[in-house]
Amino acid sequence: MADVTNRPNEQNFRRPGGSVSRYSPALSLALVAPLMLLMSVGFLYPIGSLIKLSLFTPALDLTSYRKIIEQPIYLSVMARTFRIALFVTITSFVLGYPVALAMASLKRRLAAAAAAAVFIALWSPVLVRSYAWIVLLQRNGVANNVMTELGLIEAPLKLIYNEGAVIIAMTHVLLPFMVLPIFAALRSIPQEYVCAARSLGAGASTAFLRVTLPLSLPGVFAGCVMCFILALGFYITPALVGGPRTLIVATLIGQQATVLLDWPFAAALSTVLLITTLIMVLVFRKAFSTSKGFASVD
């Protein structure tokens, strides 16, 4: 007869709900402690110091926040930043979803090759890609020269140093962040669902709208959030492609901190940007959570 005294006591591993856990609460806390310490030192403490700097100089002072509200130029920069980020997110979704859908329909080797092509664009330095768009869009660049030779235009167009150029360049940089999450979500959808919808009389478009698209919304949500947040904080591409007339919040914060040395105002701009970003993420989350496909992953 086997010795039952050597068996582990499962009651010591059971949670109140009845499920079995491998680690005790103390050991779980010890495992999570390094990550919590890293988050506290590398994220929470700098954010707290930033908010404190914007509010206390050294006493409570809301001058920096009043400056943002009272001077229209700063509200205009804020509005331009969110407008560009929204357009970049929408454009990335419109261009990225068909690419992800095509990648998901390929066989494993072809899908891996397509994913590698997306990763190549992701691995390229942002500075190099930004300068490439300058070469393409400048007055004597490739785009103007081609249109002039084809007789489409008589004089070079101003294709650079405007919001359109910034949106195009930022979409090119951020497109992989939209494609990859949507591709992962599409690959996780069982093909039996689409086949069942088609066997019940649904057409290709109906099956896509009623089955594939709702179940892929978790990937759409992740891609939209990443593109939107990264677009809000972009610095190099708008500075190079947009020029001084397309000033956004990240560039403005850099000027205030490094050129004018107005650290409280730079901290106030950063705090406002952080709060509005969190609000937009919650709005995205609420909008996508209305889908059953999104709720299924909760």
Residue 181 has pLDDT above 50, yes or no: yes
pLDDT digits (tens, 9 = 90+) for 264-288: 999 999 999 889 888 888 887 777 6
Residue 20 has pLDDT above 50, yes or no: no
pLDDT digits (tens, 9 = 90+) for 42-81: 888 888 888 888 888 777 888 888 888 888 899 999 999 9
Q: What is the token pair recorded at 117?
A: 């092509």
Q: What is the pTM of this model?
A: 0.80
Query: What backbone phi and psi angles, to 5 degrees, belong to 296?
Result: -70, -20
In this predicted structure, what is the pLDDT of residue 21? 55
Residue 95 has pLDDT above 90, yes or no: yes
Ordered by where they begin, the domains of the chain are 72-295 (1.10.3720.10)
Q: What burial letters (b/e) apply to 237-263, b meaning 16+ CB within 10 Å?
A: bbbbbbeeebbbbbbbbeebbeeeeee
Cβ–Cβ contacts within 10 Å for residue 61, how many? 13
Tell me how far CA of residue 145 lies from CA of 136, 162, 169, 267, in angstroms: 9, 19, 19, 44
